[in-house]
């Protein structure tokens, strides 16, 4: 699947991925159609200011134009195109179906994710390998493909690399 042809970049004051995920979901419910919508986060640093910016994309110009109008009305800065080509996807076709434990083949079949990459290993995993989703699957655009980074887990399973409840840096001291 190629990235959607109609994309807008949304400048925010959000500084955490969790807040950006929440904002993307909030914005998506205002769209006239959400089946083909991609919502991504982008870590941006401009002029010494760090934040998490967003991009919304769709195969439907109407959905993107509606999002642009709603975001502009709410005071967000909106421009055409994405911040970069490596967005972290929060909203994408099939994301809601990625719950529980699935095989890699099921994950690829049910969603817009095109490939699973196991960190630190060459090649792709066996399609029958089980992946524990933790109901938190955040693939990233890599060379025009939506790719999920995964890591080995107990019992020969995999888990998505990004943890749904990360421990903040320096939490224990």
Q: How do residues 115-138 score in pLDDT, each as one tens digit? A: 999 999 988 999 999 999 999 999
As a whole number of Å, the end-to-end CA separation of the chain is: 44
Rg of the chain (C-alpha set): 17
Mean pLDDT on 160-173? 70
Nearest to 62 by CA among 4, 141, 12, 23: 4
Tell me phi and psi for residue 141, to 5 degrees.
Answer: -70, 125
Q: Is the pLDDT of residue 141 over 70?
A: yes
Which pLDDT score, from 0 to 100, does residue 125 have? Answer: 96
Pairwise pLDDT comparison (107 vs 66), residue with the higher score? 107
Write the DSSP symbol of residue 61: H
Pairwise pLDDT comparison (127 vs 28), residue with the higher score? 127
Mean pLDDT on 86-111? 96
Task: Tell me the three state secondary structure of residue 77.
Answer: strand
Q: Is the pLDDT of residue 167 over 70?
A: no
Q: Is the pLDDT of residue 170 over 60?
A: no
Tell me the CA distances in angstroms from 9 to 40, 57, 164, one per residue in order: 9, 9, 24
Mean pLDDT on 6-17? 90
Cα–Cα distance, 67 to 115 (Å, whole number): 29
Which pLDDT score, from 0 to 100, does residue 145 have? Answer: 94
Beta bridge partners of 118: 150
Cβ contacts of 80 within 8 Å, gap of 6 or more: 7, 8, 9
């Amino acid at each position: 699947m190629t990235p959607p042809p109609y994309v807008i970049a949304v400048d925010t004051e959000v500084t955490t991925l969790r807040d950006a995920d929440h904002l993307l979901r909030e914005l998506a419910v205002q769209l006239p159609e959400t089946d083909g919508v991609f919502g991504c986060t982008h870590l941006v640093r401009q002029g010494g200011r760090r934040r998490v910016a967003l991009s919304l994309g769709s195969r439907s110009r109407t959905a993107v134009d509606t999002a642009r109008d709603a975001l502009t009305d709410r005071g967000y800065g909106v421009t055409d195109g994405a911040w970069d080509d490596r967005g972290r996807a929060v909203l994408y076709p099939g994301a809601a179906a990625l719950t529980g434990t699935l095989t890699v083949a099921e994950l690829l079949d049910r969603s817009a994710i095109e490939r699973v990459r196991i960190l630190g290993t060459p090649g792709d995993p066996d399609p029958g390998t089980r992946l524990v989703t933790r109901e938190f699957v955040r693939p990233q655009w890599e060379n025009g493909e939506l790719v999920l980074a995964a890591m080995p887990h107990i019992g020969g399973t995999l888990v998505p690399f990004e943890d749904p409840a990360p421990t903040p840096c320096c939490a224990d001291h």
